[in-house]
Amino acid sequence: MNDYGSPLLREYGRLRRLGWTASAAADAARIRRSWDALGGYVGSKEDRDPAPVRLIVDWSDGYEPGDCDCDQRQRCRCQHHSDLLTCDYGQPCRHLCDEMRRADREGVYVIVGQVFDAYGDHEWHTVDAVHGFIGDDWRDSGYDTDVMSVAMDAYRTERAS
């Protein structure tokens, strides 16, 4: 008997609808299911939670716009970013300027995977981090589940020792 209403299959289906490949969606769904089963927590570090692992979403120190990799690169012509080489397929500057305005408006974040050392110093230890997400772009980026996976591996290693 198949349980097509299971949380694992629902998560897999949701990620596939977002355009994820079948194997990436299956891996991410399994990681999130394991995270939930372990009692993993996602939120800000100000929140107090008894979870053994957590994914912290926090402000990042800054933002460096990515390089354009197309063959129409040219100097930005706007008054704010004339030192940048950029393009938007024939519309110089627009993409990076829009991206920088969005970063100013929504903020730039880092996601941090942490493990609580319940047997030693009773502190949170950072095991992985990824910087540079604008707004909530970290959600469903693939990096979120990578950081979760590293945190769970570190937790299991700590428990085994």
Rounded average pLDDT per 10-residue block, the chain, 161 residues: 72 94 95 90 68 80 53 51 48 59 83 86 89 89 94 88 73
Among candidate residues 127, 132, 130, the one with its CA nearest the CA of residue 151: 127
Name the residue range of residue 13's domain: 1-38
Separation of alpha carbons 114 and 128, rounded Å:
7
pLDDT of residue 90: 41
Instruction: Answer yes or no: is 67 within a domain.
Output: no
pLDDT of residue 89: 42
pLDDT of residue 45: 67
pLDDT of residue 70: 45
- Residue ending a domain, choose from 103, 123, 143: 103
Instruction: Answer yes or no: is 33 within a domain.
Output: yes
Instruction: Answer yes or no: is 134 within a domain.
Output: no
Instruction: Report DSSP letters for the chain, one per residue.
Output: ---TTSHHHHHHHHHHHTT--HHHHHHHHHHHHHHHHHT-EEE-TTS----SEEEEEEE-S---PPPP-SS--EE--SSS-TT-EE-SSSSTTHHHHHHHHHHHHH-EEEEEEEEE-TTTT--EEEEEEEEEEETTTTTTSSHHHHHHHHHHHHHHHHHH-
Instruction: Answer yes or no: is 96 within a domain.
Output: yes
Q: Which two tokens stand for residue 62?
A: 């800054």
Instruction: Answer yes or no: is 48 within a domain.
Output: no
Instruction: Answer yes or no: is 10 within a domain.
Output: yes
From the CB of residue 151, how many other CB atoms can be counted at a distance below 10 Å? 25
What is the number of domains present in the chain? 2
- Please state the pTM of the whole predicted model: 0.74
Instruction: Answer yes or no: is 130 within a domain.
Output: no
Instruction: Answer yes or no: is 25 within a domain.
Output: yes
